[in-house]
């Protein structure tokens, strides 16, 4: 199971994200919830951004994300390892459900988030 579906990891990632200047600059005023869904294991997690910072996160079904990245376990492992988010989406290894427009309007911020996943 990819680390992105564990609370311990999401806590570490949130700390990293909220302390990374490049991300903070790109995420200014961003407020939305992004979901992650492993279609192989059916594991889910989510991260809420409020005013550009990670406000909450979880691994439950109680929150409805604005949009969700969906893919098989292998794709999530690749994202955590070295594959950039843009390559996985381009190859349709990860797809976007929900508000695609909101997702793409925040594309560089989300891409940076994907890069930080590899660093934690």
Partner 1 sequence: MAYTSVKGIRTYYEKKGNGKPLILIHGASQDTLSWRFNIDFFSNHFTVYAIDLPGHGKSYPLQSGPVQKTEDYALFVIDFIKTLNLDKPLLMGHSMAGGICLSVAAKEPKLISGIVVVDGAAYTVEKVVSYNNDVLDLASINPTDWFECNFRTLCGSNTSLERIEEIAFDARRCSPEVAIGDLRAYTSFDLSTNIKNITCPVLLIEGSEDWSCPPEAVELTYEKLNCPKDYVLLNNVGHFPHTEQPDYFNEEVLKGLARLNLL
CA-CA-CA-CA torsion sign (11, 38, 91, 80): positive
CA atoms of 41 and 118, how far apart (whole Å): 21
**Residue 25 binds partner 1, judged by CB under 8 A:** no
Tell me which of 3, 59, 86, 120 binds partner 1, using CB under 8 A. Answer: 86
Binding piece for partner 1, criterion CB under 8 A, among 7-15, 38-46, 73-81, 107-115: 107-115
CA atoms of 120 and 14, how far apart (whole Å): 10
Tell me which of 55, 95, 116, 120 binds partner 1, using CB under 8 A. Answer: 95
**Residue 107 binds partner 1, judged by CB under 8 A:** yes
Question: DSSP character for 21?
Answer: H
């Amino acid at each position: 199971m990819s680390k992105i579906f564990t609370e311990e990891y999401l806590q570490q990632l949130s700390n990293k994200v909220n302390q990374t200047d490049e991300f903070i600059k790109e995420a200014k005023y961003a407020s939305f919830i992004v979901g992650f869904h492993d279609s192989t294991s059916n594991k889910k997690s989510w991260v809420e951004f409020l005013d550009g910072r990670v406000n909450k996160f979880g691994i439950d079904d109680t929150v409805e994300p604005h949009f969700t990245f969906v893919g098989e376990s292998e794709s999530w492992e690749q994202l955590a390892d070295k594959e950039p988010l843009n390559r996985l989406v381009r190859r349709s290894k990860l797809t976007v459900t929900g508000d695609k427009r909101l997702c793409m309007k925040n594309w560089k911020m989300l891409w940076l988030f994907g890069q930080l996943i590899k660093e934690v």
